[in-house]
Amino acid sequence: MVSKAVAKYVHALHLKKYRLRHAAFLVEGGKSVKELLSSGLLTERVIVTSDFAEKIQAQLPPAVPVDIVTEDELTKLGTLANNTTALAIARLPQETPLQPKPGSLLLALDQVRDPGNVGTLIRLADWYGLAGVICSDTCADPWAPKTVAATMGSFTRVPVWQRELPGWLQSLPPELPIYGADLHGENVHRLTLRPTGVLIMGSESHGLTPEVEACLTQRLHIPGRGQAESLNVAVSAAILLDNFYRNE
C-alpha cells in the first residue's frame, strides 16, 4: 500500500499543470513500464502488483523505490479502467535540439486534440523511424497518461517537441519541403516523394489551421473510392508516410 503522499502525487500527475510543475509523468500498464525500465528515461518510482514484480525483478533499478499493491489499489491510482500489472512515475525527458535536416522527415501535428490519436501518431513515427514529432501548443499533451499508453512504448524512443507551430514553420529554411494533408491536394499515389522535410497532419474535423496551411509547399490528397466522409488522422498519416517510404 502506498503512502497518502505518494497517492496524492500520482493523482496530481493526471493533470498537465502538475506534470509540468514536477517535470514528471505517469506510465501505466506492464508493457509500457517494461519499455520505460529498459530505456534511458529516468524512473522515479514503480508501483506494481506482487505477481508482476516477480516477472520484472531483474529490470527493477536498485535505487528506485518500489511499492507492492493490490490490483484494486493500482487501478484506483491510475487512469486505466483496469490495471493488473504496474504503474511508474518517470521524469520528463530533456528536450533535444530541434534542427530539421535534409534527408530526414519530421511529423508535425496541428490541433490534434485526441490523446489516443497523438499517441498513435508517435507510434507511427517510431515505426517509420522519423526524426521526431512536433506538437502544436493546441494538441493533446504528449505526456498525458492516455497519450503515453497509446504509444505502446514508443514514447521512450521518439523525440517530441511542443511548439507554436506557425512561427516554427516560418523559421525553417525555404528549401525544406513542408507537406500537408489536404482534400484539394495532389493525388499522393501519383507522386514520388522523398522522406525529407515536414509532414503536417491536422485535426480530423477541422483540418489544418489557416496559419499552418499558409506555410505548406505541397498539399497531399489521399483519394477515396467509397462514401466515407473522412479518415482518422492516424490512418491518414500512415497512408501518407508509406508513400514517402515506398521507394526506399
The residue extents of the domains of the chain are 4-91, 105-245
Mode of pairing for the β-strands spanning 86-91 and 160-163: unpaired
Q: How confident is the model at residue 195 (pLDDT cuts 50, 70, 90)?
A: very high
Other C-beta atoms within 10 Å of 246: how many? 10
How far apart (Å, rounded) are the C-alpha atoms in residues 218 and 215? Answer: 9
Identify the helix (H) or strand (E) that includes residue 169. helix 165-170
Q: Tell me: domain 105-245, CATH 3.40.30.10, correct?
A: no
Q: Is the confidence at residue 20, as pLDDT, over 90?
A: yes
Contact call for residues 96 and 123 (beta carbons, < 8 A): no
Q: Return mean pLDDT, the chain.
A: 95
Contact call for residues 46 and 64 (beta carbons, < 8 A): yes
At 204, list the grid cell: 480530423
pLDDT in tens, 204-235: 777 899 999 999 999 999 998 888 878 899 99
For range 109-137, the mean pLDDT: 97
What are the CA-CA distances from residue 85 to residues 44, 48, 102, 112 (Å)?
A: 17, 6, 43, 30
Q: How confident is the model at residue 103 (pLDDT cuts 50, 70, 90)?
A: confident
Q: Is the confidence at residue 99, as pLDDT, over 90?
A: no
The pairs formed by 227-230 with CB atoms below 8 angstroms and a separation of 24 or more are 230/204, 230/205
pLDDT for res 204: 76
Q: How confident is the model at residue 184 (pLDDT cuts 50, 70, 90)?
A: confident
Highest CATH level, class, for 4-91? alpha beta
Q: Which of 208, 203, 212 is nearest to 232 (CA)?
A: 203
Other C-beta atoms within 10 Å of 102: how many? 11
For range 175-204, the mean pLDDT: 93
For range 172-201, the mean pLDDT: 94
pLDDT for res 112: 97
pLDDT in tens, 38-94: 999 999 999 999 999 999 999 998 899 999 999 999 999 999 999 999 999 999 999
At 194, list the grid cell: 522523398
Provide the whole-model pTM.
0.95
How far apart (Å, rounded) are the C-alpha atoms in residues 204 and 77? Answer: 32
